[in-house]
Amino acid sequence: MKIRIRLHGRGGQGVKTAGRIISTACFLEGHCAEDSPMYGPERRGAPVLSFVRVSDGEPLEERGYIEHPDALVLLDSSSVSRSSPFYGLRTDGLVIINAPLLAPKFAFPSVAFDVSSAALRVLKKDSVSAGAAALACKALGLTSIESLSEAVRMEMNEIGLRPELIERNVELARECFSSVPTVKSFVHAHDPSPTDSNDESSEKLVEIPQMVGLQPIAAIIATGNSRLNETGLWRLTTPRIDYSKCTKCIVCFVYCPDSCITLEPDLTPHIQYENCKGCMICATECPLHAISEERAVPA
């Protein structure tokens, strides 16, 4: 058995942490496992990938990006319409999606659960790493709930979360684990078999191919094009100004890192949602607490 998993999400959702939780849970379960994120686009809201390889004892000698995954984990449902997460997915592959707002209709078998709503209820924030990892561990038949829980504790402790917050992440993971089925057809298709040893890719020791379909680097050759880059598509949360509290102090206008707050002649601020990436710096800086955070709704 060798399973390659590619995770897609947005900066700030915990894509890297989700991969680490899956990998650690598999290791605790007695499997060989490795994980790695794609480095480069680490910005809140930017598209982010991470990769996990799991085997049931066979040494993992591949490295680098996974171009042909057996399973995709989509932490952000908006990535379905705005990027190409299905790139390279094997024909017998499985899609696991945090689908808070759309009922997925894919050409591939899928498992969907609204991890975001569960995270907002349990953690009070849209941080879905533990929940998404739990979906993968359960749907792919990789680990027990005990190994998963221990992996969440280890990884959340590693990033310095408070014990109380770690336990709430464990609670989220256990809820998500219990809410989806194990996809038996996937598990049977990836059972150990003599043909596994004939897998050509396992004979290539260290091959790090370029990921053709998901180039992370844009070529910007002209000035003044920032307006055309609709960073609002990255938004996971939406700032809303309560004009009954706003004193037009323009602090939000000054602090917005993307200059997407404009002012009327009388200094009333307006947020340009085409470019607001939802960093919520304006809400943090507003001295009147006149800006609140809403869940972004993908178009």
CB distance 100 to 114 below 8 Å: yes
- The least distance separating ligand SF4 from the CB of residue 6, rounded to whole angstroms, comes to 28
Out of 58, 230, 249, 295, the only residue in the binding site for ligand SF4 (CB under 6 A) is 249
Out of 43, 63, 82, 248, the only residue in the binding site for ligand SF4 (CB under 6 A) is 248
Q: Which is nearer to ligand SF4, 36 or 127 (CB)?
A: 127
- The least distance separating ligand SF4 from the CB of residue 238, rounded to whole angstroms, comes to 8
- Which residues between 271 and 290 bind ligand SF4 (CB under 6 A)? 271, 276-282, 286, 288, 290
Distance CA(49)–CA(53), nearest Å, equals 14
Report the greatest alpha carbon distance in the chain: 75
DSSP state of 20: H
- The least distance separating ligand SF4 from the CB of residue 296, rounded to whole angstroms, comes to 10
**Candidates 10-18, 60-68, 166-174, 245-253; binding stretch for ligand SF4 (CB under 6 A):** 245-253
Return the bridge partners of 239, or none: 293
- The least distance separating ligand SF4 from the CB of residue 232, rounded to whole angstroms, comes to 8
Distance CA(255)–CA(280), nearest Å, equals 10
263: left (phi over 0), alpha (psi -120 to 50) or beta: beta
Out of 251, 292, 295, 298, the only residue in the binding site for ligand SF4 (CB under 6 A) is 251
Residue 236 makes contact with ligand SF4 by CB under 6 A: no
Which residue in the block uniquely carries the two structure tokens 């993307």? 258
Which residue in the block uniquely carries the two structure tokens 């792919």? 140
Distance CA(232)–CA(291), nearest Å, equals 17
- The least distance separating ligand SF4 from the CB of residue 220, rounded to whole angstroms, comes to 19
Distance CA(133)–CA(114), nearest Å, equals 13
- The torsion angles phi and psi of 47, rounded to 5 degrees, stand at -60, 130
CA distances from 156 to 3, 10, 149 (A): 24, 19, 11
Query: Going residue by residue from 60 to 99, which x/- string records binding to ligand SF4, judged by CB under 6 A?
Result: ----------------------------------------
Q: Which is nearer to ligand SF4, 80 or 271 (CB)?
A: 271
Out of 38, 241, 292, 294, the only residue in the binding site for ligand SF4 (CB under 6 A) is 241
DSSP letters along 85-98, please?
A: TTTT--TT-EEEEE
- Which residues between 132 and 191 bind ligand SF4 (CB under 6 A)? none
- The least distance separating ligand SF4 from the CB of residue 297, rounded to whole angstroms, comes to 15
| Closest C-alpha to 292, from 243, 248, 219, 254 | 243
Q: Which is nearer to ligand SF4, 193 or 259 (CB)?
A: 259
Residue 246 makes contact with ligand SF4 by CB under 6 A: yes
Distance of CA 5 to the CA centre of its chain: 13
CA distances from 161 to 147, 157, 165, 166 (A): 19, 6, 6, 6
Q: Which is nearer to ligand SF4, 47 or 85 (CB)?
A: 47
Q: Which is nearer to ligand SF4, 92 or 274 (CB)?
A: 274
Report the interface residues with ligand SF4, using CB under 6 A: 239, 241, 246-252, 256, 258, 260-261, 269, 271, 276-282, 286, 288, 290-291
